[in-house]
Amino acid sequence: MSIATKDIIIEKVKNSKIDQVDFDNLAFGSVFTDHMLVCTYKNGAWETPTITPYQPITLDPSAKIFHYGQSIFEGMKAYKDKNNDVFLFRPLDNHKRLNISAARMCIPQIPEDYFMEGLTTLLNLDKDFIPTKDGGSLYIRPFMFASGNGFHASPANEYKFIIACAPSGAYFSGKVKVLIEEKYSRSANGGVGYAKAGGNYAGQFYPTQLAIEKGYNQVIWTDDTSHEYIEEAGAMNIFIRINDTLLTGPTSDRILDGITRKSILEIAKDQGIKTEVRKITVKEVVAAAKDGSLKEMFGAGTAAVISPIAGFGYRDTDYDLPELENSFGERLKKIITDIQYNKSEDKFGWRYQVKS
């Protein structure tokens, strides 16, 4: 299968809604662009992608997404520089990871040209929705789900691949206070934790709500068997700085291979920051908090890039982290965002220009 931009069917909106968008007050993921891309898998093949006006999806009540949860997604962003040129950040990594998730959830993989040609055509059509204010971006949500019908517990025979976009302002999480979770697990060995499956996130909501009721903003997930090892921060990968070493856990069946995570590790190496990818015990983090060697903790992901953690709770005790003037988190975030917004050299080859 192969597709080119000229092959994509385009149905433009009659009247754009861009005049209704308040670009000075954009809540994350709540306002959407004029168009979306839709591609159907049917009779063993992906059909020609179509760009249509953004609109509701009609599904049969027996569509298997409702019953067996075959659903995956990606999260990425488009950025504008001072010349109004449009850029993506490591988009081929998003495509690769989407297909890794698809394989795990028994969903047909989407060819690279369908993904990239569809995405860039959509962005060229809706590029005026990409904010130009500092920190603004267009959040992009590619997703795939089972649209085929039937109550039989088996993979569907039809699927939808859709890309929808939402202009978003600067993402500020504020001072995040987290609770180290010891009862509930995000994922398990041999499970689907490494896939961006919708159910992974649904399963997080209840334990997170319990943490919120205790006065925390989010949870730190630990391993599913012993709960001795730090794994992820909410829906983000986690980094922990002890003295001047930056630690993060290894990817596994349970941990998502985050694109921001990979970028941080490469930049840290380039900057001469010592890193260690290894299992991190809760005990050593608590001990470091007590003796003052714990300097930083932060989540890493697409939405916030880096989300600083101000403190954590563990077994009815709260531990505050110091406020640093020149933190690793701030330094690494600036380097990443400067690449994303075309403000600096991209020695890593991550920036991808969307050409008209």
pLDDT tens column, 163-195: 999 999 987 667 799 999 999 999 999 999 999
Q: What's the rounded Cα separation, in Å, for the pair 66 and 147?
A: 9
Percent of the chain with pLDDT over 90: 95
Instruction: Identify the pLDDT of residue 5.
Output: 80
At 263-309, the pLDDT tens digits run 999 999 999 999 999 999 999 999 999 999 999 999 999 999 999 99
Asked whether residue 4 carries a pLDDT value surpassing 70, the answer given is yes
Q: Which two tokens stand for residue 78?
A: 């488009």
DSSP category for residue 206: H
Residue 77's identity, in one-letter code, is K
Q: Residue 268 phi/psi, 5° resolution?
A: -60, -45
Long-range contacts of 208-217, Cβ-Cβ distance < 8 Å, separation of 24 or more: 208/234, 211/178, 211/179, 211/181, 214/179, 214/313, 215/177, 216/177, 216/178, 216/179, 216/313, 217/173, 217/176, 217/177, 217/178
The pairing of beta strand 159-168 with beta strand 86-89: unpaired
CB 319 within 8 A of CB 311: yes
Give me the pLDDT at residue 175, please: 77
Distance CA 145, CA 41 (A): 10
Mean pLDDT of the chain: 96
Q: Which regions of the chain carry the CATH code 3.30.470.10?
A: 5-168
* DSSP state for residue 348 in the 8-state scheme: T
CATH architecture designation of domain 5-168: 2-Layer Sandwich (3.30)
CATH 3.20.10.10-classified regions of the chain: 176-338
Look up the CATH number of domain 176-338: 3.20.10.10
Whether residue 79 contacts residue 137, with contact meaning beta carbons closer than 8 Å, is answered with yes
Distance CA 275, CA 226 (A): 25
Residue labelled with tokens 């400067």 = 338
User: Of all helices (H) and strands (E), which one includes residue 236?
Assistant: strand 236-242
Could you tell me which of 12, 37, 216, 215 has the C-alpha nearest to residue 141? 37
Exposure pattern of 103-141 as b/e (b: 16+ CB <10 Å)? ebbebbbbbebbbbbbbbbbbebbbebbbeeeebbbbbb
Q: What is the mean pLDDT of residues 90-104?
A: 98
**pLDDT above 70 for 340:** yes
Q: How far apart are the first and last CA of the chain?
A: 24
Report the range of poorest mean pLDDT among 147-151, 253-257, 293-297, 341-345. 253-257
For residue 160, what are the contacts with CB-CB under 8 A and spacing of at least 6? 38, 39, 40, 41, 57, 144, 145, 147
Q: Decide if pLDDT at 344 tops 90.
A: yes
The three-point CA angle 19-20-25 to 5° equals 110
